[in-house]
Chain A
Amino acid sequence: MIVALENVTVTLSGHRVLEEVTLGFNEGTFTGIIGPNGAGKTTLLKIILGLIKPDCGTVTVFGGPPSGRGNRRHLIGYLPQRQQFDRRFPISVLDAVMMGQVPCIGSLRFPTKQHREAARKSLEMVGLNGEMAGRQIGELSGGQQQLVFLARALCSHTRLLLLDEPTAGLDVMAQQRFYTQVRNLQQDLKLTVILVTHDLGTVAAYADELVCLHKRVYARGEPGRVLLSPALADLFGNNLLPREKEGGLLTNGRMVCV
């Protein structure tokens, strides 16, 4: 098991965000984390990254602690929630991907040709050609920028990829392109992917399993079964995915992508 959380409880600013959460993520799996706003989904990712310390419980990532001595942070790629950034920020696409190499380069060292080559290879992996490398990051479309940040998350010997609502604000085509790219990379590189999203229909089509979180784990299993579980109706109401249910798109416990 690559990531293991045992009885993890987190309180932030006086509010209980996670309550005795026990979860494990196996190598090479694609897991979607769903849940309403404030359910603790982003907090869960930050615990795995070691950015938030739980009040109690244990967190193990690659067999060690998520932060401090002996952490394997360089094996983790992270794509945070899509944020506003200055479109005129003076870096090229390649510079942005190179930022993912910073943990590999190390402190007080400068990037070498090998680091630049690794960054170019990451760009190719997400389907962006060499011509893109020299362009200013702000000149790209939102979908292309997310692919660049995906390349950044992948370019440090990444084994575990954490994605936090990566397609929020993107159009449907860009979302599909992004998820397809993630799914292909996950299968080709045997990555472990943990994806936080509100896009229930789409994630169900790509993920191996879903975890429904709302402070604690409400449901976990194959996407179709989780989406049809009564626990989910409690959380989201009965309007959850009416189109998919009526159209019979949920078959054999798995969402069919159309």
Chain B
Amino acid sequence: MGEWFAYDFMQRALLAGVMAGLLCGLVSFFVVLKRLAFVGAGISHSALGGVAIGVLLGINPILAATAFCTLVAWAIGLVSRKGELYEDTAIGILFVTAMALGIALLSLAVGYYADLFSFLFGSILSVTKTDLVLLGVTGTAVAAFLLLFFKELLFICFDYEAASAAGIPTGILYYGLLTSLALTVVVTVKILGIVLASALLVMPAATGYELCKNFRGMLTVAAAHGTIATAAGLWLSYRLNLPSGATIVLCAAALFFAAFILSPYRRAGGRTHSFAA
């Protein structure tokens, strides 16, 4: 390790980045297979509303964002499952409403704009020990849920109706998946910011999806992608003096596009995303 790793704040940043990368790799697996990418983007942008409520009420903004994002995730799930609105319509309405609420409320909180900037664009270099503990506890809980119910969740992603018919509690597990997504968004916001948090909820597994024909390989690639992208992005941001969140996302995107070009699906004859009739 070079001189960059000698600093305490850098060690904490790297540890946070690796933990978040691993967690996002696992969560993104289900985001990609259940087509929840827009849900992830919607939840992450909604975090602004939660942060604003926290600031105004004088409670920890991250805790407020956790509760708020979870409620938004459940609302999206409820509306789409009831079929009262198309899921993307519900997300489009809910997340801009939450963001507008956040902007309006924060305008009432005088002098909060510096911290607001760190929530919007992330501040991995200012990760504290408390943040690490929060990330560790949340990440462990989310990973435990996803791994313990892995076979059920995979069945739900592949064939929701058959999974319901098999007696799997699809509704409860779907809400559990949305809650995992919301929790992951909140802990990732500190690193990538509200604007870019959803990037690591999609790109790791999307990379694995391009390279692997089996879910075991896809999961491994997703975890590796999330970890490598955050570590490499952090190092590059230090060397090139670039914003860390944006550099991490650019590294993740570079890895994805490399996988997209090298994908065996494209090399095998240009078959792109297709569906059985």
Partner of B168, one of A102, A138, A145: A102
- Please determine whether B277 and A71 come into contact, CB atoms closer than 8 angstroms: no
- Cα separation A130 to B178 with both chains bound (whole Å): 37
Is A91 interfacial (CB-CB < 8 Å)?
yes
Among listed A72-80, A199-207, A236-244, A250-258, interface-contacting one: A72-80
Distance of A78 Cα from B162 Cα, bound (Å): 7
- Check A85/B158 contact, CB under 8 A, given A73-B167, A100-B166, A111-B151: yes
CB of B274 within 8 A of CB of A102, answer no
The answer to whether the Cβ of B212 comes within 8 Å of any Cβ in the partner chain is yes
| B-side contacts of A80, CB under 8 Å | 159, 161-162, 165
* Contact A145 B151, beta carbon cutoff 8 Å: no
Task: Flag B203-234 by CB within 8 Å of A: 1 or 0 each.
Answer: 00000110011110110000000000000000
**Bound-state Cα–Cα, A108 to B168, Å:** 12
Q: What 0/1 readout, one digit per residue, does chain B (193-207) give for beta carbons within 8 Å of chain A?
A: 000000000000000
**Given contacts A80-B159, A107-B152, A88 and B166 within 8 Å (CB-CB):** no
A249 at the interface (CB under 8 A from B): no
Determine whether A96 belongs to the interface, using a CB cutoff of 8 Å to chain B: yes
B15 on the A face (CB < 8 A): no
For B151, the closest partner residue in chain A by CB is: A102
Q: Which of B149, B214, B217, B276 contacts A107 (CB 8 A)?
A: B149
Name the distance in Å between A205's Cβ and chain B's nearest Cβ.
Answer: 25
Q: Tell whether, in the assembled complex, residue B213 and residue A90 are in contact, meaning their CB atoms are under 8 Å apart.
A: yes
Residues of A contacting B151 in the complex (Cβ-Cβ under 8 angstroms): 98-99, 102, 105, 110-111
A186 at the interface (CB under 8 A from B): no
User: Does residue B164 face the partner (Cβ distance < 8 Å to A)?
Assistant: yes
Question: Size of chain B's interface in residues, with CB distance under 8 A?
Answer: 32
User: How far apart are B135's CB and chain A's nearest CB, in angstroms?
Assistant: 25
Given A99-B158, A107-B149, A169-B277, A90 and B166 touching (CB < 8 A)?
no
Contacts of B17-70 to chain A: CB distance below 8 A: 33
Decide if A99 touches B154 in the complex (CB within 8 Å). Answer: yes
Question: Which residues of chain B come closer than 8 Å to A51, judged between CB atoms?
Answer: 164-165
- Known: A84-B275, A86-B273. Is A74-B214 also a contact (CB below 8 A)? no
Q: Which B87-140 residues have a C-beta within 8 angstroms of A? A: none
Chain B proximity of A161: nearest CB distance (Å): 12
Flag if B158 contacts A88 (CB, 8 Å): no
Q: B215, A73: Cβ atoms under 8 Å?
A: no
| Majority secondary structure, B binding face | helix
Interface flag for B265 (CB, 8 Å): yes
Cβ–Cβ < 8 Å partners of A90 in chain B = 33, 208-209, 212-215, 217-218
Query: Is A84's CB under 8 angstroms from B159's CB?
Result: no
Q: Is there a chain B Cβ closer than 8 Å to A7's Cβ? A: no
A95 at the interface (CB under 8 A from B): yes
Are B168's CB and A103's CB within 8 A? yes
Q: Is B238 an interface residue (CB 8 A)?
A: no
Asked whether, in the complex, the Cβ of B215 is within 8 Å of the Cβ of A138, the reply is no
Contact partner of B165 (CB less than 8 A), chosen from A78, A91, A108, A138, is: A78
B214 to chain A, nearest CB (A): 5
**A49 adjacent to chain B (CB < 8 Å):** yes
Q: Which A residues between 54 and 74 are near B, CB-CB below 8 angstroms?
A: 71, 73-74
Q: Does A215 contact B (CB under 8 A)?
A: no
Flag whether B1 is at the interface (Cβ < 8 A): no
Q: Mark B161-187, 1 if CB is under 8 A from A, else 0.
A: 111111110000000000000000000
Shortest CB-to-CB span from A12 to chain B, Å, is 11
A111 / chain B contacts, CB cutoff of 8 Å: 151
A103, B166: Cβ atoms closer than 8 Å? yes
- The complex places the Cα of A5 from the Cα of B157 at a distance, in Å, of 32
Note all chain B residues with C-beta closer than 8 A to A83.
159, 161
In the complex, chain B residues whose CB is within 8 Å of the CB of A36: none
Extra 10 A-B pairs, beta carbons < 8 Å, given A51-B165, A138-B276 = A73-B166, A79-B162, A83-B159, A85-B275, A85-B276, A88-B265, A89-B33, A91-B158, A96-B158, A111-B151
14 chain-A/chain-B pairs, Cβ below 8 angstroms: A78-B165, A80-B161, A83-B159, A84-B276, A88-B274, A90-B212, A99-B159, A99-B162, A103-B168, A105-B151, A107-B152, A136-B213, A136-B214, A152-B162
